[in-house]
Structure 1
């Protein structure tokens, strides 16, 4: 295949076209992070207890405190039981006060929810409490699994039908089903809509980064992944504000969906990757796209460059089989998968525990978002100065170390715990950014999207596992922290097996890769 790096330098490897493309593809990352982090708020349950308004028919002037004392049993700690009530009786109020009610039953008339924090959530709207209390965990796990499925579906889809088409389909699905979540009449409809939101989330994320990377030159190749993470951090900050000012979950969902409208319009203007077109032997289409990019960048293309494009023939293409038959690719693949899994596993474990560090959940979420903005900017500089490998090793090792420090402070020291958790989290986020770049540079064009999809699938598996691991804290708070911290430190050491890819051309075939490495 013609040296695409040479073609890219001739038409401009980071001109106006690449900047517009980069912003256009990375902007939806702001909305993607909202879709993910919104489960922290829409799935949050408020305090609740059985509805015992039956006693008000006997004595309508009872205070709330007296009503609860007369109609709800208490647990051993002295708190009102959430899923039990005293059996209604046909007595007068004086008899109830004098003899009290001893027989209990389950909630007969629904529940009363505390609306001081959230006016509504899926917990209160769909009564996901008591015997349905595990439905919230099911919703979170299903969402994570659907992102995994989206990565699995849209990775090979992009290899067959193009990066552009996969990106467009993902955005349309996301807009439709985000609105669908807000309009869901019951939990099952909500779960179905949330499932397709997750599928589209996984599909867009992997394809947008690859499409942007394949149009950008060597010096700026870290930009797509880092800028996506930067927009994602901004989305986290905006979500904290949306969740704080709009305490109704349906309203919040519609607000999150609204910016997708202009994205649906301009996403159809995004061109296909010329690398993919050339790899597929579609030289005429590739030539048209290259001429368009040169025109936008105001570059005049040398005739010999166009001849290389026109005369390019479809050669031997790599397949997913190469990932397992080539010892070099196999080593890269399993190292990247394990390390990326470890980084995102720790990231999700800390993120999903945002309300468990002792500080206000809205403030903690804002801190999480704000701290990621400078770390992603620093990450671009570190990857260019230190290289991909050293940056990944430092991010994983430091992230694991700071996460372990959470165990070194008392549980009631909310500020210190939040500080260590935030530092560990941003380090894991930086590691994830490095692997987003690494996976583009380690593998050839013909299987780049497939390997990227496998990597993203590994991170989605970590998202599915993390809520389960977090539940082990009921036995001891140190268990989940020790698990994800140890994995990060181990994967940091494993990254010494990877080569440095800074300032190297993207490989177009397995043969090119093995020859150069």
Structure 2
């Protein structure tokens, strides 16, 4: 019996699957805490140069004398949004100092400062303030954030391969142990270089944990529930994002924040006894007895009756069509479609994580912006669930990208010409952009899986995900570029860039064929013809041939030709 047929008899989403899926979702929520944590713990607090020789110098102006002293030592900023230069101060060549009518000191030179005082309005301490990663060294914070997403890239490849070779359960548990150890180690990093290296490991472990959990969740359910299972886990991930803003608001010391978010992974250690190996993977490895033991347990909990003989272990497998991933680049039609998919993956991941990291730079309440950035993902995923099977993958993806991109571009006017008076509108537009990015992220996953031919589907989807991580790595640089540019345009630049690329990617997706209610391509030839009348005629002829085949021939075709299966 085909495994999908077994899940239909077992219950496509029975009590047993719901329990295991809940465990996977809890893990996804905890992983969500770390997905954009760099936006908080690597944020740059308001700061100015420390005045030489002044003991107990603080960022807050204590009295008029303190104000005058700061004004004499630190030049005014050229940016009207700032009061003082954050990176330079006056070095006096003599002990006798006078000021001309423009308050410029005589016998003084402008030098870069090496120590700073920080505001405690938003943070008690961040990694950047602890290690003084400011001014000329500010780029290091972007590198560290990118290292996390470079780790995500490595984790997607390494743990994806391990999951297929060693099994889902062992890979999941290894990821849990590595995530717990590395995240706790992050809080006790001895220096900034050590923190950056450990942050890369955290990124790899978090992706291994989410990726393997996603596969387990999808493989547990029946065919009609796969899209639902693939999207609902994203709700759990968004819960982690929202929870991070609450924890960050009350715990403003970065080490305590990391420890509190890391400790829940200790609960995942119990999953060794709670989470079974994927029976679908066991069957693919011909470990039928172990697979049947899992299914019999599910049978008891779901209170259903499965056939006594689930597997015919001696059946001769029908040779399946084969394909090579490189064939996607040797045909002009497949090449164009593959490049469009790759570009959309890169842009949507860049926008999704870039807008999350940039939410703290929008102005207004830092933690409220972070909260809203996670909250808008819930309506985004709801839009996908409600309309994906109604208006199609292509049109919905295009709409989400263009709407999100247009709202981001619209912030040009609110930031450059409105300022603080239109701060609420700026935040609203940015949040709509994040909503569109979140919805598009969920759609592109499903759309890619359906568009690529079966013979190269897993490898093509994995390659798309890996290429998309380029957007992850680029996102921190674009989000932090605003701070480096400075001024009103600096605040608007990330949103302008995200908006423009989103519109371009959304328009390019219109050149892809629709997959809704279509027989999915199975061979490379199918992939080339997909979306044309010739493909529909070909599938209709095959269907007519199947109707006149003998029952035993029909049975042999079921596992591959009549049922399209895909996982993460």
Q: TM above 0.5, one fold? A: yes
Query: TM-score of the superposition, structure 2-length normalised?
Result: 0.78
| Aligned counterpart, 2:274 | 269
| Aligned counterpart, 1:454 | 463
What whole-Å deviation, never above 9, does each CA across 1:315-350 have from its counterpart, x for those lacking one?
757888356369798787555433333322222332
Greater Cα shift, 104-113 or 259-268: 104-113
Which one of the candidate residues 488, 501, 504 is aligned to 1:487?
Answer: 504
**C-alpha distance in 2, partners of 1:318/1:159?**
20
| Aligned counterpart, 2:516 | 500
**C-alpha distance in 2, partners of 1:265/1:320?**
40
**C-alpha distance in 1, partners of 2:55/2:254?**
31
Which one of the candidate residues 223, 236, 243 is aligned to 1:238?
Answer: 243
**C-alpha distance in 2, partners of 1:39/1:361?**
14
**C-alpha distance in 2, partners of 1:389/1:80?**
50
For the Cα contact (< 8 Å) 1:342–1:487, is it kept in 2? no
For the Cα contact (< 8 Å) 1:401–1:489, is it kept in 2? no
Which one of the candidate residues 106, 126, 130 is aligned to 2:131?
Answer: 126
| Aligned counterpart, 2:327 | 324
| Aligned counterpart, 2:89 | 85
The residue matched to 1:456 in structure 2 has which SS? Answer: helix
1:14 Cα offset (Å): 0.6
For the Cα contact (< 8 Å) 2:320–2:560, is it kept in 1? no
Gaps of 5+ in 1: none
| Aligned counterpart, 1:5 | 4
For the Cα contact (< 8 Å) 1:86–1:102, is it kept in 2? no
Q: Any residues of structure 2 matched to 1:416-455 within 5 Å, and which?
A: 416-439=425-448, 450-455=459-464
Confirm whether residue 297 of structure 1 aligns to residue 302 of structure 2: yes
**C-alpha distance in 2, partners of 1:390/1:513?**
29
1:279 Cα offset (Å): 2.1
Query: TM-score of the superposition, structure 1-length normalised?
Result: 0.85
For the Cα contact (< 8 Å) 1:342–1:462, is it kept in 2? yes
Q: Any residues of structure 2 matched to 1:334-483 within 5 Å, and which?
A: 334-407=339-412, 409=414, 410-412=417-419, 413-439=422-448, 450-470=459-479, 474=485, 477=492, 479-483=496-500
For the Cα contact (< 8 Å) 1:146–1:195, is it kept in 2? yes
Which one of the candidate residues 96, 118, 122 is aligned to 1:117?
Answer: 122
What whole-Å deviation, never above 9, does each CA across 1:69-99 have from its counterpart, x for those lacking one?
34334455594333333447895xxx55789
RMSD after superposition:
3.6
1:125 Cα offset (Å): 0.6
Question: Which 4+ runs in 1 deviate beyond 6 A?
Answer: 97-101, 317-320, 325-332, 443-447, 504-517
**C-alpha distance in 2, partners of 1:186/1:318?**
54
| Aligned counterpart, 2:551 | none
For the Cα contact (< 8 Å) 1:147–1:202, is it kept in 2? yes
**C-alpha distance in 1, partners of 2:231/2:219?**
15
**C-alpha distance in 1, partners of 2:136/2:412?**
34
What whole-Å deviation, never above 9, does each CA across 1:256-295 have from its counterpart, x for those lacking one?
1121111222255322222222222222322222222222
Confirm whether residue 182 of structure 1 aligns to residue 187 of structure 2: yes
Give the number of aligned pairs: 506
1:130 Cα offset (Å): 3.1
Change (3 A) 1:236 1:356: same
For the Cα contact (< 8 Å) 2:397–2:506, is it kept in 1? no
For the Cα contact (< 8 Å) 2:45–2:122, is it kept in 1? yes
